[in-house]
Amino acid sequence: MSELIAPLAFVFIGSAILLLLVSRIGLPAVPLYIVVGLAIGEFIPPGLTLELAQLGIAFLVFVFGVNVEPERFFSVARDSEYVAAAQLFIVGGATFAVGFLLGLEPVSAAFFATAASLSSSLVGRKLAKTDIRENLIHGRLTESIHFVQDLFAIGIILVLSSAVFIPEAATTGTVLDGVALPLGYGVMILGVALAIRVYLFDFLVSLSGDSDELIMLTSIALLISFLALSEFVGVSIAVGAFAAGLAITRDFDANLSLQSALESIETFFTAIFFVTLGSLVAIPNVDVVALAIALGVSIVILKPVVTIVVLIREGYDARTACLTSFSLDQVSEFSLILAISGLLAGQITQQLFEVIILASAVTMITSTITYQYDDRIYRAFARTGVFDRVNTPNIEHGIETAKPLEDHVIVIGYGKLGSGVTAVCRDNETTVVIVESDPDRYELARDFHDTCVFGDAMSEQTWERLNPSAAKAIISTSSQRGLSSYLLSKETDADLILRADRIPEAIELHNQGAAYVTVPDFLASEQFGETISRLLEADAEPTALREENRRLLREQVSDARIVGQFPVDYLEYHR
């Protein structure tokens, strides 16, 4: 016990200091942990750190497993499986070839290639957090691609960890047996986990009553049992940990407490795992640096290019494709787990291990940079004309044939606000053009309106079709600052109505020439205050209030003319 104290103290004190120092910049924590590890490497005795790192793997994969909901897989995956698969095969294949040419053994080259092709969801999700929350299309894509890749990663870990047994099997039996047996066991363990999930877990929860502590301990006990099981049959503990996570559903009443418990455990072991990982790297020699650069290039350049091409082929516009690719250009934490399992099993050399760790620390940091400047990088590329061929927005229904656009209103975004705005314009017999870059919303807009443009509101090609100089008004329902500035820079006499989420920004945009800037929460608060006062004063029964308010909601939604919120027949008269 006491030999653990000093290393753990270094891990956490170092991490806390670095996290505090960079808390203003918004760097993700994972690369910082690796940097801490690099710095304090000599204070941590190596044998001990490997033990710690394995614990870290177990808990990290476990928490990931808990968050996986197999039921949701198909709705989340959609287009993403192609992108994830393309990354895996094209980027992975190319990097495998490069690694092979640079003199790596096939198994080592496979590790090398995996490091290049998988992206980190811990980093990517943290970076794209705002985009995901605002449900921007590239945020959604990022999230789902990461999810699919993580599942691939588990599969790869299963396969590669089985390869460990080749040498042993070669002496006693056939090579095939060596791979197939652990693989079969791995699948069996996953099967057991699913059976527990479906048949047993609810019962375990009901046994633990309402006690948060017992539910957490039950989960940990499941984890330990699965770890023991995988150890017993000779499969990677990562597979056992994932299976344990899978055995736990998130679908029960007290799951919030389990979630927050797991969050703490995840944070605790994330720090331990990544700092330990960094501490295993010695001062790199030339070979290590050269290989790391090769790996880095394939992650920072090849991977984004492949992602962009595939996304554009899937029908997304160039900007969405670029922005998505900029949150995928780093090494996955699963590749690190693979690397360390490979090192422990003697499948890869210390040298290759260091290459992967170095490349991951660097790309996780560069990824933060490309993400922060994503729009500028996109624009720099767009100016060179590479996207010209693919970036032509689809003009649907009538723009081409009808008389030229004049005195029209351009509405950017067809969400709740956008659909309401569009309805008001049409009531007032004004021509409306809707600009939308999310395929789903675009489809919705087309169902209700004639003139829609699919494309990015910040691309020149889109604007060429909109004839802004003759527009009566441009109404943006997106609060992206970059978009607002872009619109303000357009030369047009049209009245600009923008949206901002914060008051100072709204005032600034207004001063810069916007006719009006909506701050949704501010407007909503005025309405809300009235309602609350009415509620608190009402003498009515709570249940009656509830019914009344529910009815009111329907009225409000139809008054605000928000489409896509209720079934189509409910809004039939909007057409």
Question: Which residues, numbered 530-549, are part of the site for other proteins (CB under 8 A)?
Answer: 531-533, 535-537, 542, 545-546, 549
Binders of other proteins in range 483-512 (CB under 8 A): 495, 501-504, 506-507, 510
Cβ 506 to other proteins shortest distance, Å: 6
Instruction: Tell me, residue by residue from 1 to 30, as one string, x for binding to other proteins by CB under 8 A and - for no binding.
Output: -x--xx-xx--xx-xxx-xx--xx-x--x-
515 binds other proteins (CB under 8 A): yes
516 binds other proteins (CB under 8 A): yes
How many residues at the interface with other proteins, by CB under 8 A? 92
Per-residue CA distances from 440 to 75, 136, 218, 269, 480 (Å): 13, 12, 41, 39, 20
Asked whether 241 and 190 are in contact (CB, 8 A), the reply is no
The number of beta carbons lying within 10 Å of the beta carbon of residue 277 is 29
Binders of other proteins in range 320-349 (CB under 8 A): none
CA-derived radius of gyration, the chain? 27
User: Could you please report the per-residue DSSP string of 286-300?
Assistant: HHHHHHHHHHHHIII
130 binds other proteins (CB under 8 A): yes
67 binds other proteins (CB under 8 A): no
Binders of other proteins in range 104-123 (CB under 8 A): none
46, 268, 313, 388: which one contacts other proteins (CB under 8 A)?
Answer: 268
Cβ 476 to other proteins shortest distance, Å: 12
Cβ 419 to other proteins shortest distance, Å: 9
271, 292, 357, 494: which one contacts other proteins (CB under 8 A)?
Answer: 271
**Closer Cβ to other proteins, 260 or 469, answer by number:** 260
**Closer Cβ to other proteins, 6 or 386, answer by number:** 6
566 binds other proteins (CB under 8 A): yes
SS3 state at 60: helix
**Closer Cβ to other proteins, 125 or 379, answer by number:** 125
47 binds other proteins (CB under 8 A): no
Q: How far is CA 349 from the centre of its chain?
A: 32
Rounded distance between C-alpha atoms, residue 494 and residue 553, angstroms: 34
Cβ 32 to other proteins shortest distance, Å: 10
- Residue appearing with tokens 């303000």: 488
**Closer Cβ to other proteins, 391 or 477, answer by number:** 477
Binders of other proteins in range 169-228 (CB under 8 A): 212-213, 216-217, 220
Please tell me what DSSP assigns to residue 155. H
User: In the β-sheet with 432-436, what is the strand arrangement from edge to edge?
Assistant: 394-395, 452-454, 432-436, 409-412, 473-476, 495-499, 516-518
Crossing angle of helices 503-511 and 481-488, rounded to 10°: 10
520 binds other proteins (CB under 8 A): yes
Parallel, antiparallel or unpaired: strands 495-499 and 516-518: parallel
417 binds other proteins (CB under 8 A): yes
Cβ 526 to other proteins shortest distance, Å: 7
**Closer Cβ to other proteins, 493 or 526, answer by number:** 526
**Closer Cβ to other proteins, 177 or 212, answer by number:** 212
Q: Between the CA atoms of 463, 469, 475 and 479, what dihedral angle is there, to the nearest 10 degrees?
A: 50
**Closer Cβ to other proteins, 168 or 559, answer by number:** 559
102 binds other proteins (CB under 8 A): no
- Residue appearing with tokens 């595939």: 310
**Closer Cβ to other proteins, 176 or 256, answer by number:** 256
With 0-12 / 13-18 / 19 or more C-beta atoms within 10 angstroms meaning exposed / middle / buried, residue 360 is: buried
518 binds other proteins (CB under 8 A): yes
Amino acid in position 435: V
Cβ 260 to other proteins shortest distance, Å: 5
Cβ 517 to other proteins shortest distance, Å: 8
**Closer Cβ to other proteins, 27 or 292, answer by number:** 27
Rounded distance between C-alpha atoms, residue 144 and residue 155, angstroms: 17
Instruction: Tell me, residue by residue from 439 to 478, as one string, x for binding to other proteins by CB under 8 A and - for no binding.
Output: ----------------------------------x-----
Instruction: Tell me, residue by residue from 243 to 262, as one string, x for binding to other proteins by CB under 8 A and - for no binding.
Output: ----------x-xxx-xxxx
Parallel, antiparallel or unpaired: strands 394-395 and 452-454: antiparallel
Please tell me what DSSP assigns to residue 247. T
Quick one: which of 464, 474, 496, 491 has its CA closest to 399? 464
48, 188, 293, 557: which one contacts other proteins (CB under 8 A)?
Answer: 557
Asked whether 119 and 332 are in contact (CB, 8 A), the reply is yes
**Closer Cβ to other proteins, 105 or 501, answer by number:** 501
Amino acid in position 281: V
Distant-in-sequence, close-in-space partners of 373: CB < 8 Å, separation ≥ 6: none
206, 428, 491, 493: which one contacts other proteins (CB under 8 A)?
Answer: 428
Asked whether 239 and 186 are in contact (CB, 8 A), the reply is yes
565 binds other proteins (CB under 8 A): yes
With 0-12 / 13-18 / 19 or more C-beta atoms within 10 angstroms meaning exposed / middle / buried, residue 555 is: exposed
Asked whether 135 and 157 are in contact (CB, 8 A), the reply is no
